Homo-oligomer: A and B are copies of this chain.
Amino acid sequence: MSETNGNRENTGRRRTRRGGGHDANRRADAGISQLDWTLPVNPDKPTEPLDEEGVAAIHDAAMRVLEEIGIDFLNDEAKAVLKAAGCDVEEGSPTVRMDRAFVMEQVAKAPSTFTITPRNPARRISIGGRNIVFGNVSSPPNCSDLDRGRRVGDRESFRDLLKLSQYFNCIHFTGGYPVEPVDLHASIRHLDGLYDKLTLTDKVCHAYSLGKERVEDGMEMVRIAAGLSHEEFDAAPRMYTNINSSSPLKHDYPMLDGAMRLAKRGQPVVVTPFTLAGAMAPVTLPGAVVQQTAEGLAAIALLQAVRPGAPVVYGTFTSNVDMKSGAPAFGTPEYMRATQMSGQMARFYNLPVRASNACAANAPDAQAAWESAFSLWACVSAGINKVYHAAGWLEGGLCASYEKFVMDCETLQQMIRYLERVPVTEDDLAIDAIKEVGPHGHFFGAAHTQARYETAFYQPFLSDWRNYETWEEAGAPQAPEHANRIWKQILAEFEAPKLDPAIVEELEAFVARRKKEGGAPTDF
């Protein structure tokens, strides 16, 4: 003992020994054991930085923005709907003012929870309440991996990232393109892209609100893939879109158009203002959340006027910018608090809420990990229902990293396990085991341990928990290297989810016909 300091906190690793076994809860494939598909329910009270007066003050200020300043709707149909509903719409101006009674009346029509059922009904997800679901990274122009470095997105990478999204059970829905397949011409990209999505995955999917053709094609392809009649498609949520306001205080034509098209057919719309504090929104967090709330509720009120009861989600993307460069920052103290405040506002309006697992780092290094962990913590502590960009996001959204994708899935699994309730039965209290082991033994061999060790603890598939010497002998691999090996194995062994060949044929025919017709105009 003379060479040690007597502190036991650093010695357990050497003194403890092999327990053995594996977790029966997991499926072993692609060389890893992952959690089964599960829809996590958040058991904790959300962290709420605002008191009741704070929530009321933000609500009141958002209402004043809608009443006194107004929101620009760059879409004549939207303006006409709102004018008909009694809003103050100036002739020749895009600005619409709406009073709080109207806004609250419309918002009250939106469901507080809803389900979305993809082509595989076993992948149905619930949005709202205490549910929390995770989606893959959406819309980066670039992708990267350790072997090929960073490059502009193409269809092959797009398909790779879809396969990872399908493989991991912790990914509950697919977002926008996990990387932009730039080698597909923009006029037909949505056709090939959605074809890939619907054949490589069977999870809830998204269509971009980028003009009539893309949106209508998207709904039609989702309908075909699920083998639904038009009536069946319209009867319940089958897919969703996300629209961003063009902050400050503007909603653009194509996003409003797409949102209204989906709402008319009962399909969900996530409304996510682009309120980066200090840039497109006030530099103060309450101010940015005021603007986010005004922009978001303006579109939600429109959609309820278009179709009462249309499923909608209050989205938050509020974060701060780096005041040195103007670049958006994520996983910051400001991001965490803004996300929690957004959760409070969404609950005040009885709406489901969406946020993101984002970071600003350029590489899948420690910075990426702590920024993402803080973003994820923000989502979990805020009571977020739908977590966008939950796996794969780097560089403030400019790059999808294969390795980061796998690393994020590791932390998502940990969060899913964290969200399980801790039971406290007489058995869990373990007094008999404590008595049995007494002061001279250890618990490895106790019957209480043996009966439980296979499932007692979450077992990571990525973390390297070997001791230093063994790890060093193995070449001292860091997290991205492990992730690199894992995604390769997943892609090598990937099997697409089952889909009726007749449906595949119908999808192919649809894509071929629409390509022949020229796809979508690219001049919007």
Q: Identify which of A80-88, A462-470, A499-507 touches chain B.
A: A462-470
The residue on B at minimum CB distance from A322 is B465
Please determine whether B327 and A430 come into contact, CB atoms closer than 8 angstroms. no
List of B residues within 8 angstroms of A360 by Cβ: 463, 465
Instruction: Assess A278 versus B449: contact at CB under 8 Å? Given A336-B418, A373-B370, A424-B57.
Output: yes
B428 touches A6 (CB 8 A): no
- Cβ of B180 and Cβ of A5 under 8 Å apart? yes
Total number of A residues with any Cβ neighbor in B under 8 Å: 176
A selection of 16 A-B contacts at a CB cut-off of 8 Å is A6-B209, A6-B254, A9-B272, A10-B396, A14-B398, A16-B327, A69-B435, A150-B468, A249-B438, A277-B443, A278-B453, A280-B442, A282-B443, A282-B448, A286-B430, A287-B428
Q: Please state if A61 and B431 are interface contacts (CB–CB under 8 Å).
A: yes
- Copies of this chain assembled into the complex: 2
Contact residues, A300-336 vs B (CB, 8 A): 317, 320-329, 332-334, 336
Is A368 located at the chain interface by the 8 A CB criterion?
A: yes
Is A54 in contact with chain B by the CB < 8 A criterion?
A: yes
Which of A20, A248, A417, A457: most chain B Cβ within 10 A? A457
Closest to A7 in B: B139
Contacting B at CB under 8 A, from A404-428, are: 407, 410-411, 414-415, 417-418, 420-424, 427-428
**Smallest CB separation, A20 vs chain B (Å):** 7
**A92: interface (CB < 8 Å):** no
A438-475 contact mask (Cβ, 8 Å, vs B): 1 or 0: 11011110101100111011111011111110011000
Partner of A439, one of B8, B249, B329, B369: B249
- In angstroms, Cα B279 to Cα A158, docked, is 45
Q: Tell which of A5, A329, A452, A471 has the most Cβ of chain B within 10 Å.
A: A5
Q: Contacts A279-B12, A457-B332; is A58 near B429 (CB within 8 Å)?
A: yes
